[in-house]
Structure 1
Amino acid sequence: MTEVDDARARILEKAEQCFLAHGYSRVTMDDIATELRMSKKTLYRHFSSKEELGEAAIVALFTRIGEELRAILEDERRDFGERLEAFARTVAGHYGRGAAVLRDLQRDAPALWQKLLELRRQSVQERFGAFVAAGVKAGALRSDMEPRLVILMVLTLVDQLIRPDVLAELEMTAEQLFPRMLGVVLDGIRTKPGGPPPPANKPRGTRA
């Protein structure tokens, strides 16, 4: 890691800590420079604005979450159900810890909120899609379901439900809602132990 990379990493780590502790709107670049014992000139050399720093912090967070989820998926010591539970707990936990920041972004920083939504959709497609494929391979999820449809259903539910305003309306936390939401979707595509195999899709034009 170069000296510049090290400085950026330190700034991003401190910025995330400040945003989580106080909210995005209440933290200034002065505050972050003071916490780092760094001159504002040096801080602005790495990040030209608070918005640029905020976006970089969001990207770094999603990169870290992605690495955690990949490690869970690849942990062959746990069966699929245990890995799926860890997946849901990890995602909901990160969202829960950042709830105050997310409310700030949705209300006061629409550009950053949209960036977050974009990265979240990408993460669901990549990481949850990998879990669906692993579930089919393990025999835990039905092989006749359409993975793209399942992923789109989860994307839609996440976009519509895992939002600060909707969680407040439901009087629920992300830790409460996300596992339940995921369970409702997956219950419909789990294989049933001891039950008959799901019917194969009939080609178009054939009769029952």
Structure 2
Amino acid sequence: MDPVQVRILEKAEELFSKYGYSKTKMEEIASSLKISRKTLYKYYSNKQDLMEFFMEYRQNEIQKVIQQIANDESLTAVQKFSKLHQSLIEESPYVMNDLFIREVSEMFPQQLERFKKRREKEIPESIGKIFQMAKMKGELREGYMPEVAVHLFLSSIEMILSNKNSITIPLNIHEFQAEVVNVIFYGVLKR
């Protein structure tokens, strides 16, 4: 992808997250990047086109992060899952403001549905492969059910994201996330 195109998508993400989709104008995106509107429209014919590219870009970025972590041979299984858990929380589109999420779901239901279906297929498959690699290396116990482990792992991310503003435990979100991963992999029972 062209570096200018990436800059546009990242600036759009910043402005959409800050002001919402409907209040962000194409002119604002261009001026904040110090590029002409002509340059912006060279890449994206309108704001809807930009939004669709943005959603695709976010999904591709999430997949890249997963693959980088999965392929990092220097990490143990628990380190991979901890890093992956944290990265999926940070890279999630749901970290954006609630207004933006609400607008996207109302204005782009088909694109959002396509995004969700792709995410629901690709992310569990990728995480399942990481569990399989860890099992082959002998890092996971025999007899565990990978489907349950993947579901628990992903559900814990959704739980953190859906409650990010109402967590009453005296931990920041990163400490909370690390403790969730510890509970998933080591449990709560004294051994």
Q: Would the aligned equivalents of 2:16 and 2:100 in 1 still touch at CA under 8 Å?
A: no
In the alignment, structure 1 residue 24 sits paired with structure 2 residue 24: no
> Residues of 2 paired with 1:186 and 1:31: CA distance?
46
Structure ID, larger Rg: 1
1:181 aligns with 2:180: yes
Partner of 1:192: none
Say if 1:14 and 1:36, in contact at 8 Å, map to a contact too.
yes
Give TM-score, length-normalised by structure 2: 0.71
Instruction: Name 1:155's counterpart in structure 2.
Output: 154
Report the residue type matching 2:120 in the other structure. Answer: R
* Alignment partner, residue 98 of structure 2: 103
Instruction: Give me the whole-angstrom Cα distance separating, in 2, the residues matched to 1:56 and 1:171.
Output: 37
Work out whether 1:143 is the aligned partner of 2:142.
Answer: yes
Q: Is the 8 A contact 1:47 1:53 kept in 2?
A: yes
Q: 1:43 aligned to 2:44? A: no
Distance 1:119 1:86, change over 3 A: same
Q: Which residue in the other structure is 1:76 paired with?
A: 73
Distance 1:140 1:187 in 2: 12
Q: How many residues align?
A: 181
Residue 144 and residue 23 in structure 1: after superposition, are their counterparts in 2 closer, same or farther (change >3 A)? farther
Name structure 1 gaps, 5 residues minimum: 189-194, 196-208
| Structure 1, 55-64 or 39-48: larger mean CA deviation | 39-48
Residue type of the alignment partner of 1:179: A
Q: Distance in 2 between matches of 1:132 and 1:155?
A: 13
1:60 matched to 2:57? The reply is yes
Question: Is the CA contact 2:89–2:157 (under 8 Å) kept in the aligned structure 1?
Answer: no
Conserved 8 A contact 1:80-1:138 = no
Name the counterpart of 1:206.
Answer: none
Q: Contact (CA 8 Å) 1:33, 1:43: kept in 2 or not?
A: yes
Report the equivalent of 1:167. 164
Equivalence for 1:124: 123
Supply the distance in 2 between the matched residues of 1:146 and 1:58 (Cα, whole angstroms).
32
- 3-state DSSP of counterpart to 1:76: coil
In structure 2, the CA distance between the partners of 1:59 and 1:38, relative to structure 1 (3 Å rule), is same
> In terms of mean alpha carbon deviation, does 63-72 or 176-185 score higher?
176-185
Q: Structure 2: which 5+ runs fail to align?
A: none
User: After superposition, where does 1:189-204 map in structure 2 within 5 Å?
Assistant: none
> Structure 1 pair 130/65, CA: closer, same or farther in 2 (3 Å)?
same
With normalisation by structure 1, the TM-score equals 0.66
Verify the 8 A CA contact 1:69 1:127 in the aligned structure 2.
Answer: yes
Q: Distance in 2 between matches of 1:59 and 1:162?
A: 24
Contact 1:92 1:174 in 2 (8 A): no
Superimposed CA distance per residue, residues 93-139 of structure 1 (whole angstroms, 9 cap, x where no aligned partner): 334x973x242333322136555544543343133212211221222
My pick for the range that moved more, 51-60 or 106-115, is 106-115
